[in-house]
Amino acid sequence: MKELSFKESLEVPNSVYIDVRSPVEYGIDHVCGSVNIPLFENEERKEVGTIYRMAGREDAIMRGTEIVGVKLKDLVRSFMEYQDKNIVLLCARGGMRSGSLASLLDAMGLSVYKLRQGYRGYRHYVIEQLTSLELPAPLFVLQGLTGSGKTEIIRKFPYAVDLEEMAGHRSSVFGGIDMLQKTQKRFESLLVDRIRALRGAPYLVIEGESRKIGNLHIPDSLYELMKRSPVLCLSTTLERRIDIIYREYHACCNDDNIPAIVKSLRSKLGSKNVELLIGLYREKKIRQFIHVMLETYYDPLYRHTLDRKEYAAIIQNLDTDDSVKQIRDGIEEQVRKSASLLSLL
């Protein structure tokens, strides 16, 4: 059994990360692509932690050993499913949970590596990557008014960094509907993993966002790079914007979530518009509802910011696939010109 830092573990061939923390720990954040085989379920972990605080380390170890002993046969069976892999094992801090299990699996003949400092070591790696963020290729930012189709287009690019998908939020006042927002740590892990996966890409495309997506913060290092990158503006007719928003939202809206959100905007919309919007929604006049929301809330909120920007190109989004082609061709031409210019220097 060999102990590795997370950076070193990335070079292990044919590997699988197995996280032995409890499901709740794993759910908060984990190594992307890892498998969760918990030694303790959530309540068991809580019980052992309470014993540690109240009675001390020795009693906690004894109780933990009892719990694991009962399920050891099933645990070993779960690990044997990965006997053809190089197993990289981690717990919270690289301590007893992963250490004792790694020794057992090693004795059984499995190829096992122990992650130094466990999840904590991995988290240090993520923070380090974000602190000194270097993108593997030129970055292009896609901007446009609400409903202009940015997300549809982003998801058709192989070299996209889809911040909203990673965040589990659509980045609007209605953006959390029918979505489970990730934790900040999970968002950052997904971001670092995506950037690493895009090594070798000719360029990256990202949707223009404010500093926050729902309750999550875009790391400062990435946000500063976004502000300095070329911006492409997506322009779309109002009717098409309404259609795009309707397609994305209508299936997950209901008589509780929409009126509640509208009422929360009373100070920005005014009582008259709030009552108008709630009335339209309850009358099932959804497209009119969207129209009023765009004209009274979203467009006044974002138009002045977008008008101040300088754009490398403005794309008329009349058809998603055609717009993807226009954007791709434009970016590739700009990348070629930049490469030619650099070769002359």
Integer CA distances (angstroms), 146 to 234, 270, 276, 293, in order: 10, 20, 20, 10
Give me Rg for the CA atoms of the chain. Answer: 25
Catalytic residue among 91, 233, 252, 253: 91
Phi, psi torsion values for 113, nearest 5 degrees? -120, 145
> What torsion do the CA atoms of 292, 293, 299, 300 make, to the nearest 10 degrees?
90
Nearest to 329 by CA among 202, 235, 175, 238: 202
Question: With the C-alpha atoms ordered 240, 245, 248, 251, is the resulting torsion angle positive or negative?
Answer: negative
Is 91 in the active site?
Answer: yes
Positions marked catalytic: 91
